[in-house]
Structure 1
Amino acid sequence: MNTAPAPMPTAYDSGDTAWLLAATAMVLLMTPGLAFFYGGMVRTKHILMMIKMSFAALAFGTLVWWAIGYSLAFGPDVGGAGLIGNLDHVFMHDIELNTLTGHIPTYVYSTFQMGFAIITVALISGSIADRATMKGWLVFVVLWLLIVYIPLAHWVFDQDGWIVKHLGALDFAGGLPVELNSGVAGLAVALVLRAPRDFARREERPNNIPLVVIGVGLLWFGWFGFNSGSALTDQGTASAAFINTQLGAAGAMVTWPLVEKWRTGTVTTMGVVSAAVAGMVAITPACGEVDTLGAVITGLVVGAVCAFAITLKYRFDVDDTLDVVGVHGVGGLIGLIMVGLFATARISGKEGLFYGGGWGLLGKQLVAVVSVIAFSFILTWIIAKAVDLTVGFRAEDEYDSVPGTDRERAYDFQTAERLGALVSGKAVTSDDELVRQITKLLRAREESK
């Protein structure tokens, strides 16, 4: 005989639960948005590979989180040091429909945090676009979530984590385990998979800028759930995080284009949308800690700094293909420092340097930053190297040429290819060859005028 589930405890709050359900769906939408964003930025022959890498993270990240990730990140702390949770909740064991985390059902809270794990590992794929194998990526996703992301999630998001409980650093929505962590990990895997021989000379052109803009639009929408949902309530700091997210993006979209105009003489669509992402990256740790003035300043600063930071990969010969290090790593670092400077008691309860709080909070922020950088870089480098030496992570040089990492076609060029073959007298074997032939025909036409 079926029985009705036990009633919710009195601590349950239906309004907050409804908001977190919506925020969770918004966060989960960010990974398909990232797939569009990254897919539009690479060459045509690699677009489907980038999309598949994000969706692979979505699938494997979900299962890892359900099987063991939630328990290690949010289970009772082992040894009281704030380093990792225990295995009490493997496969969501002992969690019932009426089990609460605070005043929200644990199932909802766990899924919300699952979205953070998924988008974080998916971000790393941008640092190795065009040169990773899918089998290596799948193994990397599982190992990296277990060894790197989940401990960091416990450090920062769990109430007993050492960064929040013992150190006392502030990170409202994941600047440490998500933004800084993904940027540093992106640097490590980029070094392991090394730059192609012609990296410095090759001009990477997006295959579909409108697709990039659509991806950023989905990310922007999801970011409101990402940041405001981290308040775990529909009141108070959720409203501050909401408006600060918008202000951070807007501020960066002013200074990045100014730097781009000064450096190159033009403002590009890619620069504008990248600026929006950088602004939201930086405001993520600060959105529930600073006031609106602090959010605007954070956006203005990160837009200018990241516009320069993305060019450093050429100086150091590190193929951070889609600027994960320059945007998420540098942007996350700036946001965490801004917390130490602009945190205000009327928002977060603590004060940064510029609001009379002295150097204490800024020092704690820097300790947290250095700890995460060291932990993430060393372990990610080891994982990526081990994957490359065992199952193979880096695609061979010939794999990076025609026909590319895709075995399907993102766009149907068959009619155009037949036309090109008829005009030129030879078969067209790739999208790149089609572009070359069309360009040649157009040039000949102009010269004949």
Structure 2
Amino acid sequence: MSENPTGGPQLPQERRLVTAIPGPISQELQQRKTTAVARGVGTMLPVYVVAAGGGVVVDADGNSLIDLGSGIAVTTVGNSAPRVSSAVAEQVAAFTHTCFMITPYDGYVEVAEALNRITPGSHDKRSVLFNSGAEAVENAVKIARAHTKRQAVAVFDHAYHGRTNLTMAMTAKNMPYKHGFGPFAAEVYRAPLSYPFRDSGVDGAEAARRAVDVIEKQVGAENLAAVVIEPIQGEGGFIVPAQGFLPALAEWCRANDVVFIADEVQTGFARTGELFACDHEGVVPDLIVTAKGIAGGLPLAAVTGRAEIMDAPHVGGLGGTYGGNPIACAAALAVIETIESEGLVARARAIGKLMHERLTAIQAADPRIGEVRGRGAMMAVELVKPGSTEPDADLTKALAAAAHAQGLVVLTCGTYGNVLRFLPPLSIPDHLLTEALDVLEQIFKDT
């Protein structure tokens, strides 16, 4: 694996702890946050960042932490990748906004053309740009409803699709996403997911039949506008469905004129070792939703799909003031160029191979690791009580806290709160990733 292939800023690529985590300056800033920012906005690791790049984030106290989170899979090409930084600076100097619906600009069109080219399938496509993953998911449902003239939407156990009213209804987990925020949008139905670790040998085809049976009995294909699924679940626990599950669902959708929507907000743009997670099994969705890694940290999202479906809404029915902002579009074009020119799909595979080998070795010595799973630079471990599949959320919290104290930015997830997830930027150098895994291995021994 090459060292820091995307260049990045001239920050020392090292883990450096000069204070406790968080340090005194970060603690002071956190106190200010408490009095200025709404309580509902949580902070997992209150170190206040002043610089980031390559595989590190540097805080206000001078600590340099190894980044295994990428801002939740956003800074896949790095926090300040050279092409992205240059493209953004050039666009800011030209203009920051006109609103594409009022006086358009070529950046929006170029991003749409690029998405139509790189997303799965060679069919005629159209794209529309938005600000966030949740907004794009909601608009994908709107498009599917306009096309099918149906209302119902099927989603899955453990799903996460966003924080808007409709996407909260589509999301499975109550806390912290849904609790106290209802009532939610109607006509959303939930089907069982393929979850190999907890499925007792149910293969992908059988899991798909189980899901379809629930959908047909509880909803009816003739009422269903869309099936919406994350090819690899994100907040739900980095669950990789059994092989064959996604293709079988997509085939059923085609046979019943139901729109198959892939939510690739967290899995897209090289993260899983393919450009999109659907590519691992050759699944071609009718609509694909992207965000997060699309623009290197700038707010941008998209829905891309079959032209006849995308063109169903009436003129003026899709859009938004900031959707496809010119600065974000410039960043997205630079991200795509970086991924393609610097071989970042292969880089994600190499990172995944290294992480899987090391995490599996840790698992062999620790019965609390029920499963190591994921693809590419999207890896996770599910933590359980030894000898069982009983989730151990307390252990997960303790391990995450220990990692944070040792200068590793790691995230947790999962319906049961018992999954440690790892999303390193593809710009992380080898020596830094290896050090992070060394530290993690010692933390497992000590906790």
Same-fold call, TM cutoff 0.5:
no
Identify the TM-score tier after normalising by the shorter chain: under 0.3
Q: Which has the higher helix share?
A: 1
Q: More strand by proportion, 1 or 2? A: 2
TM norm structure 1:
0.26
Q: TM-score, normalised by structure 2?
A: 0.27
Select the structure of larger CA radius of gyration: 1
